[in-house]
A and B are shown apart, each in its own frame.
Chain A
Amino acid sequence: MSAGAALDATELLERVRTGELSARESVEAAFERIERHDGALGAFLETSRGPALERADELDRSRARGGEVGPLFGVPVALKSNMCLEGREANCGSRILAGYRPPYTATFVQRLIDAGAVPVGMTNMDEFAMGSSGENSAFGPARNPWDLERTPGGSSSGSAAAVCAGLVPLALGSDTGGSVRQPAALCGISGFKPTYGRVSRYGLIAFGSSLDQVSPLARSVRDLELVMSVISGEDPLDSTCQPLPPLEPLARREDLRGLRIGVPAEYFPDTLDRAVRARVEEGVAELARLGAEPVEVRLPHTEHGIPTYYVVATAEASSNLARYDGVRYGLRVEGDGTLQGMFAATRERGFGAEVKRRILLGTYVLSSGYYDAWYSHALKVRSLLLRDFEQAFETVDAIVCPTSPTPAFRLGEKTEDPVAMYLSDVMTVPTSLAGLPAVSVPCGFVPGGAGELPVGMQIIGPAMADAAVLAMARAYQEATAHHRRLPPLALEEARA
């Protein structure tokens, strides 16, 4: 059943539900694809064939006995390596957590399992989710299935590459400043960052706590809605998780009449890649053809998004990553034998260059004498960025713009220049700082790389408008076929 490479989860579920496929066959096929292609892709840091097949057999036996068939019954899923599943290595792409096996399971992972999904492995990522290309992984970068010399984006690089190549139909990533939307765009798949607080963070290893959100990646928006309906909702174990029921997808509409979409000039600067601009403008035109009314909006503080993000996120990271000190888990290097020496030697050996850079930056902006000028100031600019969006949403229902200013770039292209790498997040960080829901969907292709490279279009909504944002993106996909295109290796797999 190698045709599984071309199916989205909804189609796969249909085959499993009708009995055409068993849960075991569905999961086994995923492992066969992983075995054939992951050597070249580097999407997974760990796979768990034994436990996954056992779980699939359990599901099949339960169904044979007349047991419940959950909403994700028999669907293989990949988890980013910063997610806790009891006993599976969650190393966050870092040497400092190599070998770390959490003693508990994240709320959102447990909900996937309870819905019948089968975790097949932990995916590659930029160390502690810090990066936009996957190259900050201590275990080597994942590769883009459209062109193996290019990045799949980051930091959820392995989750995006795995879905793009059709190894699994669904994966979870985490999005702090664009870490799911940007790789979704660069890989030509769909990725959704929920409103902050819509999904519990219990069991997600922290980077920037006021920004981090668990975010799904899939081949279609309808699959994103399906996953959200399973993982979202109240969790007493996360005090920032909103006390709301799980997200329910909105009913299908014939068209988008009556909806106003804002097109912000600040997201279409002269420096924007011309081919990317053309594809996103075609996406806006398609939404207009479906009945939505495009309106110009202004988000005047957009240019301040990157600095604000890199002050706020690094400050939070410097605090969150203080716990990796060689005492409770992970690597320990004794150093000069003193306690302070052990801390410093462990952290020096365990963290990679970008993580150190961000810990230093975050410690600096929080340190006495610089706090007011940098951290406190950035929090005020963060308010201005949120105000921009709130003012725009007084007149429009959603904002449409590119997800990334360029298609997938070459591995190695930006590794020497941290500022250039940071700028690749320019279209995603303002939404993260404002805590808003945003989806990235493929909106076409541009010449490049080994042939063509995908382009992503971002649809941003007001806080808590998650279902409306997804419904608009679903309507777009029902009218277009960009999300149906497969990279060469998945295409061969589907034809085999």
Chain B
Amino acid sequence: MGRSDTETVLRTAELARLAIEPDEAERLGEQFARILAAFEAISRLDVSGVEPMTRATRLVDVKREDRPRPSLPLDEALRNAPRRIESYYSVPKTIGGEG
């Protein structure tokens, strides 16, 4: 199981946008297998006919009128950005070739 657990961790890490070193992936793979084994009992539970509980309260969502109101000034909203250019967040180039 060892190799496939490591592969599962590496595949999942890619989905989760986490860079994981191969030796860490191996360690996490072992822990993963232990955790899932400990959790397996629920998969044997018969839930036929049971509705999934998708919310914690049975009351309906609260709605409010969609009216414009004052919001954060731009500089405040961007204050925590690690990189910005004028009124934008700055990220590495995403489309187009070299550049």
Contacts and interface: CB of A to CB of B under 8 A. Distances in A.
Interface of A: 100-104, 195-197, 210-211, 234, 236, 239-243, 301, 303-304, 306-308, 310-311, 318, 322, 325-332, 334-335, 337-345, 347-348, 351, 356-357, 359-361, 363-364, 367, 373-374, 376-384, 386, 418-419, 422, 433, 435, 463
Interface of B: 8-9, 12-13, 15-20, 28, 31-32, 34-35, 38-43, 45, 47, 50-59, 61-64, 72, 76-77, 79-83, 89, 91-94
Nearest to A435: B56
Given A243-B62, A344-B18, A356-B18, A386 B82 contact: no
Nearest to B13: A360
Contacts of A367: 12, 15
B94 A339 contact: yes
B19 A330 contact: no
A201 to B, nearest CB: 11
Nearest to B72: A103
A241 B31 CA distance: 37
Contacts of A242: 57, 59, 62
Contacts of B12: 360, 363-364, 367
A419 B38 contact: yes
Contact of B17 (A100, A334, A340): A340
A325 B61 CA distance: 30
Contacts of A100: 80
Contacts of A347: 16-19
Given A377-B42, A377-B43, A328 B59 contact: no
Chain B interface, >50% SS class:
loop
B80 A363 contact: no
A128 to B, nearest CB: 14
Given A103-B77, A330-B80, A236 B15 contact: no
A361 B35 contact: yes
A304 B13 CA distance: 27
Contacts of B43: 373-374, 377
A89 B20 CA distance: 28
Contacts of A378: 42
A307 B39 contact: yes
B33 to A, nearest CB: 11
Contacts of B80: 100-103, 328-330
Contacts of A322: 16-17
Contact of A335 (B19, B50, B82): B19
Nearest to B16: A363
B81 A239 contact: no
B18 to A, nearest CB: 5
Nearest to B14: A344
A360 B52 contact: no
A405 B63 CA distance: 41
B52 A239 contact: no
Nearest to A318: B16
Nearest to A436: B56
Contacts of A332: 82-83
Given A326-B82, A382-B52, A241 B18 contact: no
B37 to A, nearest CB: 9
Contacts of B35: 310, 361, 418-419, 422
Contact of B47 (A342, A344, A363, A381): A381
16 contacts: A103-B79, A103-B80, A197-B57, A211-B56, A239-B63, A327-B91, A339-B91, A347-B19, A351-B18, A360-B12, A360-B32, A363-B12, A373-B43, A380-B52, A383-B53, A422-B35
Contacts of B16: 318, 322, 347, 359-360, 363
Contacts of B31: 357, 418
Contacts of A382: 52-53
A337 B45 contact: no
B2 to A, nearest CB: 17
A64 B59 CA distance: 45
B62 A463 contact: no
A376 B76 CA distance: 40
A416 B63 CA distance: 46
Contact of B42 (A103, A308, A318, A328): A308
Nearest to A307: B39
Top 8 A-B residue pairs of the complex, sorted by shortest distance between their CB atoms: A379-B52, A307-B39, A332-B82, A329-B80, A435-B56, A344-B19, A380-B47, A348-B19
A430 to B, nearest CB: 12
A433 B53 CA distance: 9
